[in-house]
Amino acid sequence: MPTATKDMDFAFQTAGANPGLEVWCIENQRLVSVSKSSHGKFYTGSAYLVLNAVFPKIGPPQYDIHYWLGNEAKKVDSSLASDKALELDAALGSCSVQYREIQGQESQKFLSYFRPCLIPIEGVFTSKQGNLNGEYHVSLYTCKGDYVVYVKEVPFLRSSLNHEDVFILDTALKIFLFSGCNSTIQERAKALEVVQYIKENKHGGKCEVATIEDGKFVGDSDVGEFWSLFGGYAPIPRDSPSVQESEAPPVKLFWINLQGKLCETGSNAFSKEMLETDKCYMLDCDGEIFVWMGRQTLLTERRTTIRAVEEFVRNEGRSNKTHLTFLSEGLESTIFRSYFTNWPKTVEPRLYEEGKEKVAAIFKHQGYEVKELPEEDNEPSIDCSGTIKVWRVDGDELSLLSVAELTKLYSGDCYIVQYTFLGNGRDETLFYAWLGSKCVMEDKAAAISHMSTMADSIRTNPVMAQIHEGKEPAQFFSILQRLIILKGGNSSGYRKFIEEKGIVDETYNENLVALFRVQGTSPDNMQAIQVDQVSTSLNSSYCYILQSKASIYTWIGSLSSARDHNLLDRMVELSNPTWLPVSVREGNEPDIFWDALSGKAEYPKGKEIQGFIDDPHLFALKITRGDFKVKEIYNYTQDDLITEDVLLLDCQREIYVWVGLHSAVKSKQEALNLGLKFLEMDVLVEGLSLNIPIYIVTEGHEPPFFTRFFSWDHSKENIFGNSFERKLAILKGKPKSLEGHNRTPLKANSRPSTPDGHGSISVFSNGRGRSSSPIPSSAGSDLRQSGDRSLSSSTPVVKKLFEGSPSQSSAGKTMPQSGSPATELSSSDETASFPQKDRNVDGENTAIYPYERLRVVSANPVTGIDLTKREVYLSNEEFREKFGMPKSAFYKLPRWKQNKLKMSLDLF
């Protein structure tokens, strides 16, 4: 932490040392810390300072400073609050974003700190505790907002009611919720959270709750009681038509000099170069004003700037809805950057390093010695021992890959991966469409269409994901465990493309020179990726396998770790035990090594530094009359997954589109298109690749790798009704389960749009493509794999890393002309017979053979067995004798260790 200056407020000496909220109030022109129990209580006659500190898992801390001004706050207190915000920013090393918050017009981010609501209290804050006695004060509140609630106390009069809003009437014995006929379901649901808050905090959890619906009066005693409190029923007048807002004025940029004078420097067209690091600027966007402060400006300059901007807002007669945001150089928001052309999309290394040092200093301040910040957690969040199937896409046709081929993918092809695993007490299915970096558009479109059709045929509403080569999620690698990506392709579309373009066919050939980069995090997460066989493909941070006509070399980069070396050895050992590679360390390469790579050349030799990953952000996606709108939900919880909405969780390396059961989106393809649309919006996702993985998740079928981003309560998953009905049932303690009720699963469109803009292709029983129609419900019976489920390690033992292409193997199967496509796609005996990690560990339902007949070098070998799992066919007694452990213990070992033991016994 930066050391406090002599004139710095004592309250800030330890500010920001811990994540979470800190709140101060101005009392008698000094700062007083507010206890956590009073964080949500803001007095209308006072001014407050709020600091929110967030410590991401990776990267520098993030600070947001808000100064809140009550409507009755004194001017001197309001000025002091803005000064203290600047002082606090200086104490934090000028690494915060600051906001001015006006009572009743607070930002959504500010309100999200005080869920479910912030209810201003009449009066002035005092640090002295007192007791309030007397008659219970009846209050009438309006509630507005879908994700955060704006609560405002209004006069307890009938004239305060209207048809547009939701109202809460709080009396001594009962709380009434009145819903205007034009209010939304979500507003009503959010207002129920406020009702719950008032019940618990003002009534000790003991009072009745009644809901009143605007326009319905018959047969309800609560309705009569409600209106009697207003002196009897009378119609609520209709609101007069609202006046259309005029067009927004142009955006203007002002430089603010040392005397506080605003000098206009441009209008509408701005560049980053216009912002000088020793000056302060104001960007006037009418409804929102940004103040940019260069890193070389002094605290006195910043104070003068804030005074000038606040005076500008008053003199211009701006609405009190105008938000002021104060940004320091290097911490610009994406919204601010969007007003400037060609703003760099990468974080400055200097600022990132400063952030790392600050995190380390904070840990040290808390008593921890930190030599290096912890690495990102790469542990898979799902069971990676499930059942896997892989199909290669060739236009209208799909070819099911054999066990020996399913972990080898070609860059010129597209594949569909179906993975079944044990989730929350039930079988879950996950589909990936893997799109090679060199694939043709028709294969990409067909892959997405086939995946949608296959996902549609499974009743359990599986998760569907689109992923691109080079941007695979860590989970995909964990599922496949050992993946080999080869150059070239085998689909007819790819072959036709390179022939028409006159491109040299680079499809892998085991008789030619090939270079593979080895990467991964553990023996259960390894990849060998073929790269161009030239020196410039090397990198000091990695290890490589070079396959030449004469020899096999392993190249160890000088910046690679001991873990990388172990993975290199295991990849070679498990891929081809007969290989005797020549180990070469960087800097000691023989000439023959460089000759195989067409000569020595310069390559990257610096340590690869991975940029920090921000914590996930949740957005609501709405399309109304063709207009696509995105709204961020701050400090989100599971309760923000509203059944009428489509929400997007942005994790920077992958995004999840969550589709509520009552939303307007009715197909996985439509949800996927929304995800793609989101990625195209530069303002909110600046710096994200258009090729990052996109998962489609349906309400009620959330997988663990999605729920891990929330404090998840499974009891909330399957409550019947819309969002208002669900929360009302929880409030009254009578939730109804969805079981027994018909729920509409998310389906694929009959003709979903595809990446190239054409209609999708569906595979019929004759194997031909045409406009698709829904697959019969029986089509997915085999895909569901219910009943006789088997947990497995999805990766088979591959004896050769560089075997021939699938097109040269007899294992690839196109769909026959009988039966439904979904049934045929899952009916491979070869894949189904692949033994699993926890299957038949005691030899049940498996033929038993003596050890001598199961050995690779046996004179009388057994036929008709799975040669990759010879040990399964040993009796329990002989297995224990040979391996020195029971089968159950053996299958708990890492896969590489299992294979090593099998090799020593000639069973591999």
What average pLDDT does the structure give for the chain?
Answer: 80
The pLDDT of residue 206 is above 50 = yes
Handedness of CA 171, 174, 175, 179 (dihedral sign): negative
The pLDDT of residue 502 is above 90 = yes
Q: Report in angstroms the alpha-carbon separations of 254 from 280, 310, 532.
A: 9, 14, 51
Q: How far is residue 900's CA from residue 97's CA, in Å, rounded to a whole number?
A: 55
pLDDT tens-digit profile of 89-139? 988 888 899 999 999 999 999 999 998 999 998 899 887 755 555 678 899
pLDDT bin (cut points 50, 70, 90) of residue 615 is confident
Q: How far is residue 90's CA from residue 79's CA, in Å, rounded to a whole number?
A: 17
Domain 9-111 has CATH 3.40.20.10: yes
Q: How far is residue 832's CA from residue 713's CA, in Å, rounded to a whole number?
A: 35
The predicted pLDDT at position 438 comes to 96
The predicted pLDDT at position 826 comes to 36
The predicted pLDDT at position 129 comes to 58
Which two three-digit tokens encode residue 583? 């180990």
CATH class given for the domain over 615-730: alpha beta
The predicted pLDDT at position 815 comes to 37
CATH number of the 250-339 domain: 3.40.20.10
CATH class given for the domain over 158-228: alpha beta
The predicted pLDDT at position 781 comes to 32
Q: How far is residue 459's CA from residue 426's CA, in Å, rounded to a whole number?
A: 13
The DSSP annotation for 701-749 comes to ---HHHHTTS---GGGTTB-S-HHHHHHHHHTT---BSTTS-----B--
pLDDT tens-digit profile of 693-705? 999 999 989 999 9
pLDDT tens-digit profile of 398-430? 999 998 899 999 999 999 999 999 877 788 899
Which two three-digit tokens encode residue 897? 């260790």
pLDDT bin (cut points 50, 70, 90) of residue 241 is low
The predicted pLDDT at position 350 comes to 43
Higher pLDDT, 408 or 769: 408
The predicted pLDDT at position 808 comes to 38
pLDDT tens-digit profile of 52-79? 998 877 677 889 999 999 999 999 999 9
The pLDDT of residue 778 is above 70 = no
Cα-Cα end-to-end distance for the chain: 57
The predicted pLDDT at position 240 comes to 59
The predicted pLDDT at position 780 comes to 34
pLDDT tens-digit profile of 672-721? 999 988 887 754 555 567 899 999 999 989 999 999 999 888 877 777 78
User: Counting every residue, how long is the chain?
Assistant: 908
Q: What percent of the chain has pLDDT over 90?
A: 46
The predicted pLDDT at position 866 comes to 78
Q: Is residue 389 helix, strand or coil?
A: strand
Higher pLDDT, 287 or 786: 287
Q: Are 698 and 656 contacting, i.e. CB atoms less than 8 angstroms apart?
A: no
Instruction: Return the H-helix or E-strand segment holding 642.
Output: none
The predicted pLDDT at position 738 comes to 52
In terms of C-beta distances under 8 Å and separation of at least 24 residues, what long-range contacts does 415-418 make, across chains too? Answer: 415/390, 415/391, 415/447, 416/390, 416/391, 416/447, 416/450, 416/451, 416/454, 417/388, 417/389, 417/390, 417/476, 417/479, 417/480, 418/388, 418/389, 418/390, 418/391, 418/454, 418/783, 418/826
The pLDDT of residue 847 is above 50 = yes
Return the domain boundaries, the chain: 9-111, 158-228, 250-339, 406-594, 615-730, 849-902
Q: Are strands 47-54 and 62-69 parallel, antiparallel or unpaired?
A: antiparallel
Asked if 158-228 and 250-339 have one fold, the answer is yes
In this prediction, residues 796-825 reach a mean pLDDT of: 37
Higher pLDDT, 152 or 732: 152
The predicted pLDDT at position 531 comes to 97
In this prediction, residues 247-267 reach a mean pLDDT of: 87
The pLDDT of residue 745 is above 60 = no
pLDDT bin (cut points 50, 70, 90) of residue 544 is very high
Which of 528-532, 567-571, 818-822 has the weakest average pLDDT?
818-822
The pLDDT of residue 789 is above 70 = no
CATH class given for the domain over 406-594: alpha beta
The predicted pLDDT at position 361 comes to 53
Q: What percent of the chain has pLDDT over 70?
A: 78
Q: Are 751 and 772 contacting, i.e. CB atoms less than 8 angstroms apart?
A: yes
Q: How far is residue 659's CA from residue 646's CA, in Å, rounded to a whole number?
A: 5
849-902 CATH pick, 1.10.10.10, 1.10.950.10, 1.20.140.10, 1.10.1740.10 = 1.10.950.10
Q: Are 836 and 799 contacting, i.e. CB atoms less than 8 angstroms apart?
A: no
Q: Are 100 and 78 contacting, i.e. CB atoms less than 8 angstroms apart?
A: no
pLDDT tens-digit profile of 461-483? 899 999 999 999 999 999 999 99
Q: How far is residue 263's CA from residue 265's CA, in Å, rounded to a whole number?
A: 6
Q: Are 522 and 478 contacting, i.e. CB atoms less than 8 angstroms apart?
A: no
Instruction: Return the H-helix or E-strand segment holding 284.
Output: strand 280-284
Q: How far is residue 701's CA from residue 641's CA, in Å, rounded to a whole number?
A: 13
The predicted pLDDT at position 786 comes to 32
